[in-house]
């Protein structure tokens, strides 16, 4: 939410610029999506996820597009795709586990990892569509070299998706906590409505998780 307020203030403080307007609209829109979803759904997400989304969108649009960092640092775009795909992959793994309430799937865990990888690639493809829309609608140049730029983005997304799927699978197996798997573990622990059977990684599966503050089952009971 602070990123959205900053974007609105900046839009009012500078002379009108079509490119800057498009960038700030994108930053504002993306920054308020997660808080709005929390307000509507009653779910909770780690604060650092809110901060990371705001930083990522600002780095991609405000710094990358408007200030020209993409041209000054060619690897900037690839790094953003790599990191975002990893986060989306662990998010996809968490979504896959909603089908079991947070318990181990009947099939091997790596199957859920494959689904997580597929989720990250789907969102990555939609991001490419968004870039195309920004180019057409606001005169940006997000797809600077056309097909080569898009394909290098897809490759970075694939590498990040593998990173996230492996990190999430290892974290669930209780072997090692690799970034960004902690976001998934914290989100699952904070939302028993979606993962009522979650008891932590495999090393803690025998432990009974105590409800967090405010988790009295009112949401499930419709009260």
**Alpha-carbon distance values, 139 to 5, 86, 99, 205 (Å):** 24, 29, 42, 52
Token pair, residue 65, equals 């597009």
**pLDDT at 110 (0 to 100):** 84
**pLDDT at 214 (0 to 100):** 42
CA distance 75 to 56: 15
**pLDDT at 83 (0 to 100):** 93
Class of residue 63 by CB neighbours under 10 A (exposed 0-12, middle 13-18, buried 19+): middle
Q: How many domains does the chain have?
A: 2
For the segment 21-63, what is each residue's pLDDT rounded down to a tens digit? 777 777 777 778 888 989 998 899 988 888 888 888 888 777 7
83 and 54 in one domain? Answer: no
**Alpha-carbon distance values, 181 to 62, 93, 141 (Å):** 27, 10, 33
pLDDT band at 116, cuts 50/70/90? very high
| pTM of the complete model beyond 0.85 | no
- The percentage of residues in the chain with a pLDDT greater than 70, rounded to a whole number, is 79
Q: For residue 13, is it within any domain? A: yes
Residue 189 has pLDDT above 80, yes or no: yes
For the segment 138-171, what is each residue's pLDDT rounded down to a tens digit? 877 767 777 888 889 999 999 999 999 999 999 8
20 and 107 in one domain? Answer: no
Residue that terminates a domain, selected from 55, 73, 91: 73
199 and 135 in one domain? Answer: yes
């Amino acid at each position: 939410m602070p990123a959205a307020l900053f974007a609105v203030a900046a839009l009012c403080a500078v002379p009108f610029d079509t490119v800057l307007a498009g960038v700030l609209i994108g930053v504002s829109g993306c920054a308020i999506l997660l808080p709005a979803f929390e307000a509507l759904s009653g779910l909770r997400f780690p604060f650092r996820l809110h901060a990371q989304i705001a930083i990522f969108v600002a780095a991609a649009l405000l710094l990358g597009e408007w200030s020209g960092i993409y041209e000054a640092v060619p690897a900037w775009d690839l790094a953003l795709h790599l990191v975002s795909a990893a986060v989306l992959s662990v998010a996809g793994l968490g979504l896959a586990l909603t089908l079991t309430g947070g318990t181990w799937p009947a099939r091997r865990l790596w199957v859920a990892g494959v689904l997580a990888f597929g989720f990250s690639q789907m969102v990555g493809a939609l991001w490419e569509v968004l870039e195309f829309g920004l180019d057409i609608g606001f005169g940006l140049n997000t797809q600077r070299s056309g097909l080569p730029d898009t394909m290098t983005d897809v490759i970075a997304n694939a590498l990040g998706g593998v990173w996230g799927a492996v990190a999430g699978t290892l974290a669930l197996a209780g072997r090692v906590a690799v970034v960004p798997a902690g976001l998934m573990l914290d989100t699952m622990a904070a939302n028993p409505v979606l993962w009522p059977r979650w008891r932590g990684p495999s090393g803690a599966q025998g432990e009974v998780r105590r409800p967090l503050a405010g988790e009295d089952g009112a949401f499930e009971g419709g009260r």
